[in-house]
Amino acid sequence: MKRSAWRYLWTAVDIRNRLLLTFGLLLVYRLAAHIPVPGVNREAVAQIMSQAGAGGAGTLVGLLDLLSGGTVSTFSVLAMGVYPYITAQIILQLLVPIIPRLQRIMEEDPRQGREFQERWTYYLAVPMAALNAFGQIRLMLSLGGATSLPLLTFGSDLGFNLPTLTMIISMTGGTMFAIWLGELISEYGVRNQGLSLIIFAGIVSRIPSNLLSILSNESTRWVALFFFIVIVVAAVFAIVVVQQGRRNVPVMYPGRRMGNRQSMPVRGNLPLQVNMAGMIPVIFAQSILTFPAIIAQFFVASTTPWIAGTAVGISNLFGGQSDWYWLLFFLMVVGFTYFYTDVIFSQQNYGENLKRAGAQVPGVTKGPATQKYLMKVLRRITLPGAVFLGIVAVLPFLVKNVIPGATNISILSTGLLIVVGVVRDTFFGLDAELKLRGYDDTLLVR
């Protein structure tokens, strides 16, 4: 009889402790998500969120609320989540190919380069979080003018006074706290999945409220629920199939010498994934697209007409109200898929590694030529994966005029892709942990 190694998941003490620690840290994160920013009138915030569909800025608030796991709707200290850190990562990864010194550090000593990049990502995340906090406060204040209650309990002036600095510091501290929890999960819990699980926990926490919103309309609730289930199941199936897709490149490995005899070369395969970047391009694109709308809120109240008008236009465009936003979202997801795939594949340097092992792709010269050939193959097979990611990301826009209540099916876009990606990566990570401890997928039992 065959039994799965997963029956030992709770038996292995170290893995069980890692899982319990992960669940505990995620619980701490969700509890901290209910701590409000000091000086904010929560009733006014509730009125703003109830009107979040009116106008580009309101749509942006709803989008930020989804990605942060509902912390924007309560104006929590964790309202920005870990996205300032992700934005800082994007900036540094864009700078590496541009600045020769950074590129030289990454090529000469990849380990030192990663440590350097991680350290400066933390440094850059702090001002990014402070800037993002100021932008979110301005955004909520601009929407608060339509409510009957003042947003701030200490007045509506957003000068650099003590209450304002307290709000910015508390929100920045909340973001760094969330990043710290993610690092603890990666180190002591589920390995290398800390920040992904933080985002995952926030998005999953919004599923019940999304379902309640779908069911709130008595005339369309069952039709909307049916389409919701069908689309979710179909999208999950398609995501898994694409994520598992790969192209096997034949590789010849040298034979081994055993005494005076030389064995024949061994033929193997180098699997290249259709979507090596996973869910990262969607997070990157989402972070980049929300940033201009937040910056634009600094200038909405400008006394200069053309500056205020430009700021309002940018807010509407990048706030999700314009159809052009979804086209930009699609193109940026496709572009970031290629960018991130190139970065990851270049760092792995398969051409040099195969040369050191004495292996060779048939018909291709060893070394740089092999790396160039593999990169060409990878870019060709990345196209369907990149287009698929873009389609999944803009799925709400594609179905909003077809399915009743589709405006509430926000989990179908970025949220669904992130959830499936995190579950998949966590599954394979735990499976690898079990194999390292001697638990094979199938064990023969008498």
Q: Which of 253, 254, 252, 251 has its CA nearest to residue 271?
A: 251
Residue 21: pLDDT band (50, 70, 90) is very high
Domain definitions of the chain by residue range? 1-205+441-446, 216-254+266-412
| pLDDT above 90 for 176 | yes
* Contact assessment for residue 289 and residue 329, using Cβ atoms and an 8 Å cutoff: yes
The pLDDT score that the predictor gives to residue 62 is 64
Exposure class string for 333-345: b at 16+ Cβ within 10 A, else e? bbebbbbbbbbeb
Half-sphere exposure of 49 (CA within 13 A, CB side): 17
Q: Which of 336, 198, 330 has its CA nearest to residue 277?
A: 336
| pLDDT above 50 for 144 | yes
**Helix (H, G, I), strand (E, B), or coil: what is residue 33?**
coil
Q: Which of 410, 337, 406, 408 has its CA nearest to residue 378?
A: 337
Task: Give the whole-angstrom CA distance, residue 257 versus residue 156.
Answer: 80
Mean pLDDT of the chain, nearest integer: 77
* Contact assessment for residue 308 and residue 298, using Cβ atoms and an 8 Å cutoff: no
**Helix (H, G, I), strand (E, B), or coil: what is residue 252?**
strand
The pLDDT score that the predictor gives to residue 273 is 86
* Mean of pLDDT values over 19-44: 88
Question: In terms of pLDDT, which residue wins out, 5 or 216?
Answer: 216
Residue 67: pLDDT band (50, 70, 90) is low
* Mean of pLDDT values over 249-273: 76
pLDDT, tens digit (0-9, with 9 covering 90-100), for 359-383: 888 888 888 888 888 899 999 999 9
Alpha-carbon distance values, 415 to 14, 52, 59, 244 (Å): 31, 19, 16, 19
Q: Which of 137, 142, 157 has its CA nearest to residue 55?
A: 142
| pLDDT above 70 for 155 | no
Percent of the chain at pLDDT exceeding 70: 79
Residue 26: pLDDT band (50, 70, 90) is very high
Task: Give the whole-angstrom CA distance, residue 329 versus residue 386.
Answer: 12
pLDDT, tens digit (0-9, with 9 covering 90-100), for 331-342: 988 998 988 888
* Mean of pLDDT values over 273-285: 80
Question: In terms of pLDDT, which residue wins out, 201 or 443?
Answer: 201
Q: Can you give the C-alpha Rg of the chain in angstroms?
A: 24
pLDDT, tens digit (0-9, with 9 covering 90-100), for 105-127: 777 777 777 788 888 899 999 99
* Mean of pLDDT values over 11-24: 87
Task: Give the whole-angstrom CA distance, residue 174 versus residue 35.
Answer: 10
Q: 3-state DSSP: the chain helix, strand, coil percent, rounded to 5?
A: 65, 5, 25
Tokens of 278: 């996973």
Per-range mean pLDDT, top range of 27-41, 105-119, 207-221, 428-442:
27-41
* Mean of pLDDT values over 284-305: 74
* Mean of pLDDT values over 268-297: 78
* Residue indicated by tokens 């205020």: 308
Q: Which one-letter amino acid corresponds to residue 416?
A: L
* Torsion 3-7-12-18 (CA) sign: positive
The pLDDT score that the predictor gives to residue 2 is 46
Residue 185: pLDDT band (50, 70, 90) is very high
Kindly give the pairing relationship between strand 2-4 and strand 442-444. antiparallel
> For residue 51, what is the DSSP state?
T
| pLDDT above 60 for 437 | yes
The pLDDT score that the predictor gives to residue 444 is 39
Task: Give the whole-angstrom CA distance, residue 76 versus residue 177.
Answer: 13
Q: Does domain 216-254+266-412 have CATH number 3.40.50.410?
A: no
The pLDDT score that the predictor gives to residue 263 is 64
| pLDDT above 80 for 49 | no
Q: Which one-letter amino acid corresponds to residue 387?
A: V
* Contact assessment for residue 408 and residue 62, using Cβ atoms and an 8 Å cutoff: no
| 128-142, 188-202, 297-311, 396-410: least confidently modelled range | 396-410
* Mean of pLDDT values over 302-318: 78
* Torsion 375-378-380-382 (CA) sign: negative
Task: Give the whole-angstrom CA distance, residue 430 versus residue 424.
Answer: 10
The pLDDT score that the predictor gives to residue 158 is 52
**Helix (H, G, I), strand (E, B), or coil: what is residue 35?**
coil
Q: Of 1.20.1250.20, 1.10.3370.10, 3.20.20.140, 3.40.50.720, which CATH number belongs to 1-205+441-446?
A: 1.10.3370.10
The pLDDT score that the predictor gives to residue 55 is 44
CB neighbour class for 111 (10 Å; exposed up to 12, middle 13-18, buried from 19):
exposed
Q: What angle do CA 40, 41, 43 make, to 5 degrees?
A: 145
